[in-house]
């Protein structure tokens, strides 16, 4: 980093700029205007001057100054991903960074609670270590809820626990900028000492606290906000989001691979005409296929524009709004003196088309190619690749036993909702065969089971799920938010057992099986969550999986991501863990038989 004295001298031309960008149509996110013909001076990665077309730039140019002609491209601050779980991409930190840099993302705020649930405090540290070998600037938030729900409530079995002592150590790290999403909202409202202590540690460090508050309103929302939590990415209803914004929350408008809220929440601007300053576009969970084929924050900006949001407002929602929320607008989110020279070039404003990405004043990506790469090799330790610890089980362990004389029974069923993280609790009759409750292919009702894969306890939660839209076969995976036990759904128990076998033999991953034969396999050896291959290879594997599922009739967005969320007992309405069916709003285990 340059000294303050150097920067002052460079800003006046006494020290020559390293780089000058000229002929730029500068997107001013502070004023909402376009400054035509602007020039930007950069010294040691820091912006030292922003000049209009009438100013003489010659005094900042020396023999070694690099001149970049923007050619009237639109030049804007680097995009900030304010809430992402890198693990959901199925990529490691370095490969994720390589992919999103192409889409103008220069800063990532990652919540590593997925790897934290499997590997604990050490898993978070592994991500932090790897981030030093990545292209974008990456910050993390200390996982607040590992496991997602207080273990003493008996609703779920976690792999690891990140306690207040761990939070105290993490929050002091430079790469940790806050406390990750506080999912266990019920414990907050109960003023549970464990979660309160984590909140107080973060507040004392003057760092941000992220929220997770699906359907909370009125006195419950106020009680949640009093703690200092000031963001939410789980709003799916317009009136829900509006109340939260009015009460000072930042709404993270989520548009990921499986849960999509942008269509509805864009109406905050287009219908209610509210100020956009508290709205931020985020991905939350985006798989590698969508990152490759659609993009990242550039895609979210463009979709916002299609929905009627002004382009500059959409850009503000991934730049200055994010930076202000993170209390980092003195460093990122604005093209202005003293900020990092993180800059994105696009030849259009009505549809962002990233032509070049700069970080710290260096061109990292240009015209389809990564110009600068980090060659440093990073390898995960062996313990991170051996996370399957399961007590042996058989077919009957995955099924629900009833009286042999019964022909059908009334069953509580989890209903998945396309494009939403929410589920519904429904009740339907299911047939009984040989004393076991059976699936129903015609109604798209599948067996589902969650198996403890961390402690070999033999815990198996079992039930039924509707609307995954797989018309045949079975799918098993070690992605089961957030404790990431082994989850499987299928019509035939033999297919379920076969799929589970392939996943366990791979030390984690996703397997789709039909009629006893393997159709698709994605190996995810690191914590059972991510691959150690390059993003191109992972893309091919996941693409083949998705095509296989679509061939089976699936039309849900990212079926494996939807399945993975069925086990998260902090999002309404009905979920399943290794302990059984969970009524989320009542925080209790309920019987599968209604």
For residue range 439-477, list pLDDT tens digits in order. 999 999 999 999 999 999 999 999 999 999 899 999 999
Do the Cβ atoms of 91 and 531 come closer than 8 Å?
yes
Domain annotation covers residue 479 = yes
Beta strands in 367-523 (DSSP E): 369-370, 408-416, 423-433, 436-437, 445-451, 460-466, 474-477, 486-490, 509-514, 517-523
As a three-state string, the secondary structure of 147-206 is CCCCHHHCCCCCCCCCCHHHHHHHCCCCCEEEEEEECCHHHHHCCCHHHHHHHHHHHHCC
Q: What is the pLDDT of residue 585?
A: 87
Q: What is the pLDDT of residue 258?
A: 83
Q: Is 534 helix (H, G, I), strand (E, B) or coil?
A: coil
Neighbours of 491 (CB within 10 A): 20
d(CA 159, CA 161): 7
Token pair, residue 232, equals: 């939410």
47: left (phi over 0), alpha (psi -120 to 50) or beta: beta
Domain annotation covers residue 472 = yes
Domain annotation covers residue 483 = yes
To which residue do tokens 């285990």 refer?
589
Domain annotation covers residue 309 = no
pLDDT in tens, the chain (594 residues): 899 999 999 999 999 999 999 999 999 999 999 999 999 999 999 999 999 999 999 999 999 999 999 999 999 999 999 999 999 999 999 999 999 999 999 999 999 999 999 999 999 999 999 999 999 999 999 999 999 888 888 899 889 999 999 999 999 999 999 999 999 898 999 999 999 999 999 999 999 999 999 999 999 999 999 999 999 999 999 999 999 999 999 999 999 988 899 999 999 999 999 999 999 999 999 999 999 999 999 999 999 999 999 999 999 999 999 999 999 999 999 999 999 999 999 999 999 999 999 999 999 999 999 998 776 678 999 999 999 999 999 999 999 999 988 999 999 999 998 878 889 999 999 999 999 999 999 999 999 999 999 999 999 999 999 999 899 999 999 999 989 999 999 999 999 999 999 999 999 999 999 999 999 999 999 999 999 999 999 999 999 999 999 887 776 667 888 999 999 998 899 999 999 999 998 889 999 999
Domain annotation covers residue 268 = no
Q: What is the pLDDT of residue 244?
A: 97
Q: What is the pLDDT of residue 420?
A: 83
- The range of the structural domain enclosing residue 521 comes to 385-590
Task: Give the up-direction half-sphere exposure of residue 165: CA atoms within 13 A in the CB hemisphere.
Answer: 2
Q: What's the residue count for the chain? A: 594
Q: Is 519 helix (H, G, I), strand (E, B) or coil?
A: strand
Neighbours of 202 (CB within 10 A): 28
For residue range 369-380, list pLDDT tens digits in order. 999 877 667 899
Domain annotation covers residue 375 = no
| Overall domain count for the chain | 1
Angle, alpha carbons 202-1-31 (nearest 5°): 70
Domain annotation covers residue 118 = no
Domain annotation covers residue 445 = yes
Q: What is the pLDDT of residue 556?
A: 61
Sign, CA torsion 396/401/406/410: negative
Do the Cβ atoms of 484 and 509 come closer than 8 Å?
no
Paired with 346 in beta bridges are 74, 354
């Amino acid at each position: 980093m340059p000294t303050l004295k150097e920067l002052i001298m460079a800003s006046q031309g006494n020290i020559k700029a390293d780089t000058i960008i000229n002929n730029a149509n500068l997107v001013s996110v502070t004023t909402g205007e376009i400054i035509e013909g602007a020039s930007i001076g950069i010294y040691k990665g820091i912006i030292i001057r922003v000049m209009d077309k009438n100013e003489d730039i010659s005094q900042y140019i020396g023999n070694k100054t690099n001149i970049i002609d923007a050619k009237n491209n639109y030049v804007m601050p680097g995009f900030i991903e304010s809430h992402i779980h890198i693990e959901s991409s199925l990529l490691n930190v370095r490969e994720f960074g390589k992919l999103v840099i192409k889409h103008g993302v220069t800063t990532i705020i990652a919540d590593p609670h997925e790897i934290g649930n499997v590997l604990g405090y050490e898993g978070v540290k592994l991500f932090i270590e790897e981030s030093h070998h990545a292209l974008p600037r990456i910050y993390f938030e200390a996982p607040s809820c590992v496991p997602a729900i207080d273990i003493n409530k008996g609703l779920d079995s976690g792999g690891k626990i990140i306690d207040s002592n761990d939070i105290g150590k993490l929050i002091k790290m430079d790469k940790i900028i806050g406390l990750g999403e506080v999912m266990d909202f019920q414990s907050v409202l109960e003023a549970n000492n464990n979660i309160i202590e984590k909140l107080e540690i973060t507040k004392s460090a003057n760092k941000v606290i992220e929220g997770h508050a699906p359907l909370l309103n009125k006195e419950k929302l106020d009680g949640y906000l009093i703690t200092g939590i000031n963001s939410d990415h789980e709003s799916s209803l317009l009136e829900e989001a509006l109340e939260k914004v009015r009460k000072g929350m930042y709404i993270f408008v989520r548009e990921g691979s499986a849960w999509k809220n942008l269509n509805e929440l864009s109406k905050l601007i287009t219908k209610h005409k509210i100020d956009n300053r508290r709205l931020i576009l985020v991905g939350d969970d985006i798989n590698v296929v969508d990152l490759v084929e659609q993009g990242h924050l550039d895609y979210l900006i463009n979709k916002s524009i299609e929905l009627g949001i002004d382009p500059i407002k959409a850009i503000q929602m991934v730049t200055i709004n994010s930076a202000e929320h993170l209390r980092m607008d003195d460093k990122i989110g604005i093209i202005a003196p003293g900020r990092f020279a993180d800059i994105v070039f696009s030849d259009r404003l009505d549809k962002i088309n990233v032509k070049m990405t700069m970080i710290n004043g260096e061109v990292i990506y240009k015209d389809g190619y990564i110009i600068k790469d980090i060659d440093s090799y990073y390898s995960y330790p062996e313990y991170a690749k051996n996370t399957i610890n399961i007590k042996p089980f058989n077919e009957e362990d995955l099924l629900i036993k009833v009286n042999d004389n019964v022909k059908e029974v009334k069953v509580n069923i989890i209903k998945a909702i396309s494009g939403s993280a929410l589920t519904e609790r429904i009740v339907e009759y299911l047939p009984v065969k040989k004393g076991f409750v059976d699936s129903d292919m015609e109604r798209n009702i599948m067996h589902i089971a969650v198996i403890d894969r961390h402690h070999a306890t033999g815990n198996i939660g079992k039930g039924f799920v509707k609307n995954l839209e797989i018309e045949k076969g079975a799918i098993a995976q070690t992605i089961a938010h957030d404790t990431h036990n082994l989850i499987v759904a299928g019509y035939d128990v033999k297919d379920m057992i076969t799929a589970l076998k392939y996943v366990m033999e791979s030390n984690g991953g996703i397997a789709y099986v039909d009629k006893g034969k393997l159709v698709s396999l994605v190996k995810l050896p690191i914590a059972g969550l991510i691959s150690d291959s390059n993003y191109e290879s992972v893309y091919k594997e996941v693409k083949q999986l998705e095509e296989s599922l679509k061939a089976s009739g699936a039309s849900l967005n990212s079926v494996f991501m939807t399945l993975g969320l069925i086990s998260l007992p902090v999002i309404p309405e009905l979920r399943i863990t290794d302990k059984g069916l969970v009524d989320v709003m009542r925080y209790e285990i309920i019987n599968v038989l209604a």
